Structure formats: C-alpha cells, structure tokens
Structure 1
Amino acid sequence: MIAPLGHVLALAALLFILGAACVVARRNLFMIIIGVEVMLNAAGLALVAGSLRWQNLDGQALVLFIFAIAAAEVSVGLALATYAWSRRGSLDPDDYRMLGN
C-alpha cells in the first residue's frame, strides 16, 4: 500500500521546518550542517513522492544529484568545522563573524 501524496508532502514539510528551525537556532556549527542536511532530505522526499505520483522518473534522478551535493556539503562543512575547532576551540557561530582574525 502506497501512502497518499498529501501525507508524504506533509511529512516533507514537517522535516523541512524542523531543519530550518535547527539552522535558525544556530547553537553549534555541526547543528547548522545537520539542519541543512535535513532540509535537503525533505526536498528529496517531496521530489520522490511527486515522481511516484505522476509516474515520471525525473524527480528521482534529481534526488541523486541532491544526494551528491549533500555529500559534498557535509564533507566541506565538517572540514571547516574541524578547522574552526582547532583554531578557536569553539563551535559557536557567533565566534566566527570575523574569520580573518
């Protein structure tokens, strides 16, 4: 049994809102990265649901590109967060307003 499109889109919207709340809260650089990942996954879920509903594989192909971009974003983000931790000893985003200092 396939879930109705409305339920899947509601779940995707809920995930996107949770990810956006995680980014807006800005407590930690890692949490910002996780929030962006949750938002990308929510967009992918919405694309797959629409793709299945209209029997068109374009949405599923686009999700593969989203996953590739998400993997690159995580690797660069974690590398920058690790560098920031070793440089300043903190992951608080407010400490990084002036990255040149």
Structure 2
Amino acid sequence: MLKTSIDEFLDGEEEYFSVDFDEFEETIESLGLSLYTPEETIKRAYKKINQGEGSYNLIFNNCEHFAFWCKTGVKYSQQINQILKLPKTLIKK
C-alpha cells in the first residue's frame, strides 16, 4: 500500500472507479453492517497491511475485497460477483 494523492495515483488519467457507499447504505444496514468513518477506515487499512494482508487472489482477495473490508468489515467484490454470475446468464440464453 502506498499513500499518495489522487493526482499521483491517476498519473494523468481522468477516469477511475470508486464506490459510493451511500448507494449501498440500505443494503449494508439490512445485513447488520455499519460503515467505518474515513479515519477508522484508514487505520484499518494500515493495520491490515502491517499484519500482512495475505496473498493477492483475483477471485477471493483482490483490491476491491480489501477496500470494502476496510470500510465495512466484510470482504466483497461487486466486479467479481458480476463475473461469477456471467456463466449462469449464458446458460439461461
């Protein structure tokens, strides 16, 4: 993990993906989860990195899983969930 400004991170690119947790507020509450404050989220990220996050795995432990865990306490990847649904969609057609 590297602490950097958004401008450095984007390195001249204009588009990036981010999660607006306000969109998930109802779902998060229905699951009995709560959102950590920005300060708590950052502390959780540093603590997890210092403890050793574990091996990267595209399906089970990617950057989206990590970021979602830092904010909610649950590992989740919307992108992976959509990909995993794709075979079911193809079979139905």
**What is the TM-score of this pair, normalised by structure 1?**
0.28
**What is the TM-score of this pair, normalised by structure 2?**
0.30
Instruction: Specify the structure having the higher radius of gyration (Cα).
Output: 1
Richer in helix (by share): 1
More relative contact order in 1 or in 2 (CA 8 Å, sep 6+)? 1
